[in-house]
A and B are shown apart, each in its own frame.
Chain A
């Protein structure tokens, strides 16, 4: 079985400061991991994806994430937050009880960016 834990339900940062959104996963085999972002009243947009190639994955809008197998973590970072980054972020692992293509979502982290 797969599971994802997002360690913070809310994160607040000031504009221009670094962003860290934490994610831990468990998987019975080598997983694919994703970060999606959801702006208010919008669907989910893919930020980045890890599929067993490079452990440091670069995504859109300056975000990146590092896969650490020893820590079962896939934390999302950005060096400098922008007001437009305010949204909800979901860490996702592929596979699950409903078939290997099913996505298992974390509960989400709401990012606030203060001016």
Chain B
């Protein structure tokens, strides 16, 4: 079992709903990430939180809103999603070491279906 947990593991929501995905890392890391894994597409980085600073992929729609209250917890707030947002959402964490060589550790993902 990894040191990164995600809840819920599965989520079905309508387009008018508001829901949140939760990620928690137990590895003492100081950076956390949200990725989207769609069928037949490469994994896509959505957001990075490192040292309490947020970096985002400019192509992510505003209906996805991240929140990182501390270095161990990361949320992804969802509202008015579209069916094409159905995907596996993966959380990851890493320990920053001053370069681009840190290893990211992934959670099991939340499988989201938007009806």
Q: Which of A12-20, A67-75, A77-85, A90-98 contacts B (4 or more CB under 8 A)?
A: A90-98
Q: State the B residues within 8 Å of A (CB).
A: 2, 4, 6, 31, 41-43, 45, 48, 50, 55-57, 90, 92, 94, 96, 99-109, 111
Using A99-B55, A101-B50 as known contacts, list a sample of 6 further A-B pairs with CB atoms less than 8 Å apart, ordered by residue number in A. Answer: A32-B101, A45-B106, A98-B55, A99-B48, A101-B48, A103-B43
A90 touches B43 (CB 8 A): yes
B100 touches A32 (CB 8 A): yes
Main SS class of interface, A: loop
B104 touches A103 (CB 8 A): yes
Pair count A-B, CB < 8 A: 61
Residue A49 is within 8 A (CB to CB) of chain B in the complex: yes
Residue A89 is within 8 A (CB to CB) of chain B in the complex: no
Alpha-carbon distance between A101 and B107 when the two chains are bound, in angstroms:
18
Residues from chain B with Cβ under 8 Å of A103 in the complex? 43, 45, 104
Alpha-carbon distance between A41 and B92 when the two chains are bound, in angstroms:
16
Given contacts A34-B103, A95-B100, A101-B102, contact A43 B48 (CB under 8 A): no
B-contact bits for A44-76, CB 8 A (1 contact / 0 none) = 111001011000000000000000000000000
Residues of chain A at interface, number, CB under 8 A: 28
Residues from chain B with Cβ under 8 Å of A102 in the complex? 45, 48, 55
Residues from chain A with Cβ under 8 Å of B104 in the complex? 103
Chosen A-B contacts, 8 in total, with CB atoms closer than 8 Å, are A43-B6, A46-B105, A95-B100, A98-B48, A99-B55, A101-B48, A103-B43, A105-B42
Given contacts A98-B57, A101-B94, A105-B42, contact A43 B107 (CB under 8 A): yes
B56 touches A98 (CB 8 A): yes
A107 touches B94 (CB 8 A): no
Given contacts A43-B90, A43-B106, A43-B107, contact A98 B101 (CB under 8 A): no
Least CB distance, B61 to chain A, in whole angstroms: 15
Given contacts A43-B90, A43-B107, A46-B103, contact A98 B4 (CB under 8 A): no
A94 touches B42 (CB 8 A): no
Least CB distance, B33 to chain A, in whole angstroms: 8
Alpha-carbon distance between A66 and B106 when the two chains are bound, in angstroms:
24
